[in-house]
Amino acid sequence: MEHPNFLEIIRDLYLKSIEPCKEPSFVLYFIFMVVIFGGIGVILSLWQCINGEPLRYVSQNMMTYAVALSVPAALTIFLHIIPHSDYKVSHTIITLSVLILQIVAVCFSFWNGHFIIAIICTIISWWYWILANSCNGSLGDKSYHSQIKNDLQNHGAKWDND
């Protein structure tokens, strides 16, 4: 049995991250629900920063947002993505390592208000969310349309049998 090289594993993660972004409904959901509505606390703290509050509050809110987004997404990755992966152990190690590094970075920099670390943690959490929802069929236009069509056909078939 041939062992995959590291680049194959990274390429697989890259493809799992990029593929759902080709779907407009997925991208719109991500932008409006995850980034804007989910990040409303960060947006409001940016407004406070403009009005004279310290930048530290923005970075604290960004780090809180990042952890709140990353942990459930990582759990979804462990439960739904990794079991169907060809690289189970490698994906588990990468996902767990990045999550632990992110949480450690947040813990060590939360009170100091390191803005760069907050931005990096937020980007990682967005990647986690995209990866976790890459197989979520309800976020795609085509799959949603076909599900509605199947439900209507099944409903109509019940009437035909009577």
pLDDT digits 0-9 by tens, 109-145: 777 778 889 999 999 999 999 999 988 877 777 655 5
For the cut 60, the answer to whether the pLDDT of residue 158 exceeds it is: yes
Rounded to whole angstroms, how far apart are CA atoms 115 and 121?
A: 10
Least confident of 9-18, 75-84, 106-115, 142-151: 142-151
Residue 132: what residue type? Answer: A
Angle at 10 between CA 35 and CA 101, to 5 degrees: 60
Angle at 70 between CA 113 and CA 17, to 5 degrees: 120
> What tokens were used for 58?
């923005």
Least confident of 19-23, 90-94, 152-156: 152-156
Rounded to whole angstroms, how far apart are CA atoms 24 and 27?
A: 5
% the chain with pLDDT above 70: 87
Rounded to whole angstroms, how far apart are CA atoms 62 and 43?
A: 9
Per-residue pLDDT of 58-68, as tens digits, reads 888 999 999 99
**pLDDT for the residue numbered 100:** 93
Buried b (16+ CB within 10 A) or exposed e, 16-49: beeebeebeebeebbeeebbeebbebbeebbeeb
**pLDDT for the residue numbered 70:** 93
> What tokens were used for 115?
């803005």
